[in-house]
């Protein structure tokens, strides 16, 4: 099969990444070889992204694909780039058009880390998340985000299961008086094989779960027959202890069964009000710090957890669970564990926005950023008043997250704060604010951007920032914006011609995004421009218009 030009270029980019991974590790940042390698890498990416919206690769254990075609393959365990990504759960990497040099450098520096030989508390996914890249996106397979210290899993598993059976037998002792053990004599003892031992462990585990299920069924049967106050109090204590036991041992499906049975009983009109009150208390116990702490430890342990089952458990959480969930969100060590807690808080936040927003006062920046993310997912405009107080946070990562969220929530009250962010001292904060106005998408937002672009100081901004203004403005696709861009393309100046060419290049790019083919005639005037930047972007815009 003939190899396309895109595949060849994709392979070239991957070779550049491999080269940079090796050389950037060997030389300090001020070394000429380091600088040359970085420049070559950025040039190769820029050349590709000038004609493509993104460069996206899919990652397998021993291979990397672009557009479903393999562009890298290796079966080695050492120095295997595919395995380097794959083992930490990365399944897709995407580099977007506009990728800045410093962001690419940060990404390449992460690749130089030797996670096997050096002492790191974090993995590659965590490092990517902490860098808060704007132009590099990634997809993670959460199922693979488990701890790697499980070589003795079978032995540990067997030990835990045996402990589990002992605990269940203690709980069932009151109900086991009628059972007698039979004695067998004269039986030869045959040594167990590994296969036999594995089957025995599985059988013990099934037996343990069965006994817990039988106990729960018995307790609920007694509830319907209880008469005295002491009985329901004792049964509630048993059910509460059962939830704790299951949380300690990872039996979350049994916790869900207890909660479902309690819900059915509460909705049963034949059950007394006193019994219902006690059963309702199970939901509050579920959200207590004692149980949330056990859940957090369970998720961080790397044990395989059915997230769908826990999502159903989270539906039973009451407001009292918000504070401990936020507390342990800041203490969790794995991305998978944080993801589970975050999803639970998104569900809960709809019940009490104010309680979630208290997490914005946390001293840890990463907790605050997660709370902002949660509020954005909840998408309740009541969160705006709390978020506006956080927009001046001293951590840039938090600041960008809150600007992004305010842009999605919108509303007149966020306009002034976002307008102030357009004058922030940090360029990435300003760019995030520009994107936020694009998400708001109102006539007021459009006017604010045009006014800012009309200021004299705008021409002195870096090309990356100016390009973001024009790209965002193109989202309106209106006639007045089209005319505004055409006017810039026709403008002339004898001074600061370099800056003028940058503005025209950005305007040309935006005309390509708008898609109005009336721009073709004026763009064609610049395809042979003496300024390379303007020439390149005029050609890019024409290709976009030609392709519809």
Q: What is the pLDDT of residues 36-81, one digit of tens each?
A: 999 999 999 988 888 788 899 999 989 999 988 899 998 887 788 9
Q: Is residue 124 part of a domain?
A: yes
In a domain, 172, yes or no: no
Q: Are residues 224 and 330 in the same domain?
A: yes
CA-nearest of 249, 251, 367 to 313 is 251
Structural domain contains residue 150: no
Q: Spell out the long-range contacts of 256-259 with Cβ–Cβ below 8 A and sequence spacing 24 or more.
A: 256/309, 256/312, 256/313, 257/213, 257/216, 258/216, 258/282, 259/283, 259/286, 259/313, 259/316
- 278 and 405 housed in the same domain: no
Domain co-membership, 411 together with 328: no
Whether 163 is in a domain gets the answer: no
> Which whole number is the average pLDDT over 222-242?
78
Domain ranges, residue 501: 455-548
Same domain, 439 and 477: no
Domain boundary residue, one of 126, 141, 156: 141
Please give the Cα distance from 69 to 67 (Å, whole number): 5
The model's confidence at residue 428, banded by pLDDT at 50, 70 and 90, is: very high
Q: 105-109, 116-120, 377-381, 535-539: lowest mean pLDDT where?
A: 116-120
Number of domains in the chain: 4
CB 537 within 8 A of CB 506: yes
Whether 98 is in a domain gets the answer yes
- Per-residue pLDDT band for 4 (boundaries 50, 70, 90) equals confident
Residues 467 and 448 grouped into a single domain: no
Give per-residue pLDDT as tens, 143-161. 554 444 344 434 444 444 3
pTM to 2 decimals?
0.63
Mark which of 93, 110, 141 sits at the end of a domain: 141
Q: Is the pLDDT of residue 115 over 70?
A: no
Residue 465 and residue 438 share a domain:
no
Across 283-293, average pLDDT: 95
For the chain, percent of residues with pLDDT exceeding 90: 55
Residues 254 and 296 placed together within one structural domain of the fold: yes
């Amino acid at each position: 099969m003939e190899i396309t030009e895109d595949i060849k270029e994709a392979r070239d980019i991957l070779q550049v990444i491999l080269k940079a991974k090796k050389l950037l590790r060997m030389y300090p940042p001020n070394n000429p070889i380091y600088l040359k390698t970085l420049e070559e890498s950025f040039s190769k990416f820029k050349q590709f992204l000038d004609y493509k919206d993104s460069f996206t690769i899919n990652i397998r254990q021993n291979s990397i694909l672009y557009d479903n075609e393999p562009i890298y393959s290796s079966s080695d365990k050492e120095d295997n780039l595919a395995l380097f990504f794959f083992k930490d759960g990365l399944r897709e990497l995407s580099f977007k058009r506009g990728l800045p040099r410093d962001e690419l450098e940060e990404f390449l520096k992460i690749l130089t880390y030797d996670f096997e030989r050096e002492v790191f508390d974090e993995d590659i996914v965590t490092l990517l998340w902490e860098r808060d890249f704007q132009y590099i996106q990634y997809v993670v397979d959460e199922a693979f985000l488990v701890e790697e210290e499980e070589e003795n899993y079978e032995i540990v598993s067997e030990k835990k299961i045996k402990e589990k059976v002992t605990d269940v037998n203690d709980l069932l002792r009151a109900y086991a008086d009628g059972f007698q053990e039979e004695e067998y004599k004269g039986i030869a003892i045959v040594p167990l094989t590994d296969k036999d031992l594995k089957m025995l462990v599985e059988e013990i585990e099934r037996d343990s779960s069965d006994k817990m299920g039988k106990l729960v069924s018995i307790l609920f049967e007694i509830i319907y027959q209880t008469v005295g106050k002491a009985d329901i109090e004792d049964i509630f204590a048993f059910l509460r202890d059962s939830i704790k036991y299951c949380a300690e041992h990872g039996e979350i499906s049994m916790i869900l069964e207890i909660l479902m049975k309690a819900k059915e009983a509460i909705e049963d009109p034949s059950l007394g009000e006193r019994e219902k009150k006690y059963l309702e208390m199970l939901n509050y116990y579920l959200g207590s710090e004692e149980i949330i702490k056990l859940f957090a430890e369970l998720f961080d342990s790397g044990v395989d957890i059915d997230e769908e089952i826990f999502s159903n458990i989270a539906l039973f959480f009451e407001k009292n669970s918000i504070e401990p969930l936020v507390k342990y969100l800041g203490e969790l060590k794995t991305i998978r564990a944080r993801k589970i807690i975050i999803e639970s808080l998104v569900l809960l936040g709809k019940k009490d926005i104010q309680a979630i927003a208290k997490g914005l006062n946390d001293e840890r920046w990463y907790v605050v950023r997660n709370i902002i993310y949660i509020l954005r997912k909840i998408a309740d405009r009541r969160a705006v008043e709390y978020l506006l107080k956080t927009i001046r946070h001293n951590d840039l990562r938090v600041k960008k997250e809150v600007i992004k969220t305010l842009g999605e929530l919108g509303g007149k009250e966020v306009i002034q704060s976002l307008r102030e962010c357009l004058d922030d001292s940090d360029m990435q904060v300003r760019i995030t604010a520009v994107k936020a106005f694009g998400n708001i998408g109102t006539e007021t937002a459009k006017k604010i951007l045009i006014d800012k672009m009309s200021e004299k100081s705008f021409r002195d901004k870096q090309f990356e920032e100016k390009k973001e203004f024009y790209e965002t403005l193109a989202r309106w696709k209106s006639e007045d914006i089209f005319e505004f861009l055409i006017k810039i393309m026709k403008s002339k100046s004898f001074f600061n011609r370099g800056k003028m060419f940058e503005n025209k290049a950005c305007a040309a790019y935006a005309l390509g995004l708008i898609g109005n083919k009336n721009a073709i005639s004026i763009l064609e005037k610049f395809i042979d421009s003496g300024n390379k930047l303007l020439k390149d972007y005029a050609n890019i815009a024409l290709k976009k218009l030609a392709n519809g």
